[in-house]
């Protein structure tokens, strides 16, 4: 009686569907060794997830810094200089590196996949660089969309974020207090704190943009249509869509020499427009959280001036792609843009 390998009976299209659901590059690379059939099909996988492991202690360089060092420098500048002097805030090379970019290059893995259309890179987290160390933010999330430079960045932060009891008798009191706080304004110290949150998130986003430009320079990935770079704690998301990828490829080709000789391992920002909403207290009934000091910031290049009519569309459109892991982020942002009072600022290039 001969045995039948039913797995071999599966059509190639179904196997490819399975591989695309698997996504994990490490697992897919191991599958290359299973059989000749697997070895011929896996390079055709179009959805890839690469998790970059954290550096071991002996791999860390003495000059490798963290966002905490950057924040200390920024905070010192903000205390000593007016808010209009953003162009003088320049993070040194050692202060912008939360990881060794040469170690993080996934090009060797990507060479195994010829048909990649969707790429998700997950960077290691290093403590609470943008959390409690960022001037007291217990909740801080951001999403930045790039082309050759920043398109939009949405940041949501809070000084505290706790679960709420939906059945508590205090729920009504929370909503009443939230309504009473709608017109409260930020003090100068609170505004400086939000500026530090904002700059820390922007530096994180621009570092990821620089990293991805290096990847494109070494490995063009011609069929790529979507890129997401997140971190292990899902704090920040860097996103590039299909149209923006074409723009980014052109800029990488024209900036090849600059990329190789750059001493600053992040992408510089042009002059930016910022719109900020603030609520001392925000209740999120769907997610089950209560935020204090809730702050929403929308950032765009100054040539794309933020209007009241368009800011809502920009934020809602960006949050539509958020999954279950971004439920609280989406709900809070949608509630924050209902606040009538907002702050408008301009940030010089840095």
Enter the pTM of the model. 0.77
pLDDT at 132: 47
- pLDDT averaged over 10-residue windows placed end to end, the chain, 350 residues: 72 92 91 89 93 65 47 42 36 37 57 89 71 62 93 92 64 49 74 91 94 86 93 92 91 71 77 93 88 93 63 73 69 88 88
pLDDT at 337: 87
Q: Which phi and psi (to 5°) does residue 303 adopt? A: -75, -10
Tokens of 298: 């929308």
Nearest to 253 by CA among 224, 217, 221: 217
**Cα gap 8→290, rounded to integer Å:** 53
Quickly count: other Cβ atoms within 10 Å of residue 30's Cβ: 12
């Amino acid at each position: 009686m001969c045995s039948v390998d039913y797995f071999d009976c599966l059509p190639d299209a179904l196997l490819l569907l399975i591989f695309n659901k698997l996504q994990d590059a490490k697992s897919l690379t191991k599958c290359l060794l299973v059989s000749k059939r697997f070895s011929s099909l896996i390079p055709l996988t179009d959805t890839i997830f690469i998790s970059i492991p954290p550096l071991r202690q002996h791999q860390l360089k003495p000059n490798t810094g963290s966002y905490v060092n950057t924040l200390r420098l920024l905070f010192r500048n903000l205390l000593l200089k007016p808010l209009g002097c953003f162009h003088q805030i320049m993070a040194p090379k050692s202060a912008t590196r939360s990881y060794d970019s040469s170690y993080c290059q996934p090009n060797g893995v990507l060479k195994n996949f010829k048909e990649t259309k969707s790429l998700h890179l997950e960077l290691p987290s290093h403590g609470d660089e943008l959390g409690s160390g960022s001037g007291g933010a217990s909740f801080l999330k951001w999403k930045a969309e790039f082309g050759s430079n920043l398109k939009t960045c949405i940041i949501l932060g809070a000084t505290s974020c706790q679960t709420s009891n939906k059945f508590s008798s205090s729920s009504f009191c929370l909503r009443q207090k939230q309504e009473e706080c709608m017109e409260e304004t930020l003090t100068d110290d609170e505004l400086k704190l939000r500026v530090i949150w904002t700059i820390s998130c922007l530096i994180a986003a621009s570092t990821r943009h620089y990293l991805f430009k290096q990847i494109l320079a070494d490995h063009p990935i011609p069929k790529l249509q979507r890129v997401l770079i997140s971190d292990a704690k899902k704090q920040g998301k860097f996103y590039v869509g299909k149209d923006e990828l074409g723009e980014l490829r052109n800029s990488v080709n024209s900036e090849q020499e600059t990329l190789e000789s750059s001493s600053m391992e992040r992408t510089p920002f042009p002059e930016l427009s910022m719109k900020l909403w603030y609520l001392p207290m925000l209740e999120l009934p769907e997610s089950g959280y209560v935020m204090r000091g809730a702050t929403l910031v929308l950032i765009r290049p100054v040539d794309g001036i933020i209007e009241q009519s368009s800011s809502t569309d920009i934020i809602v459109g960006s949050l539509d792609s958020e999954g279950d892991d971004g439920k609280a982020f989406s709900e809070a942002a949608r509630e924050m843009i209902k606040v009538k009072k907002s702050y408008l600022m301009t940030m010089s290039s840095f």
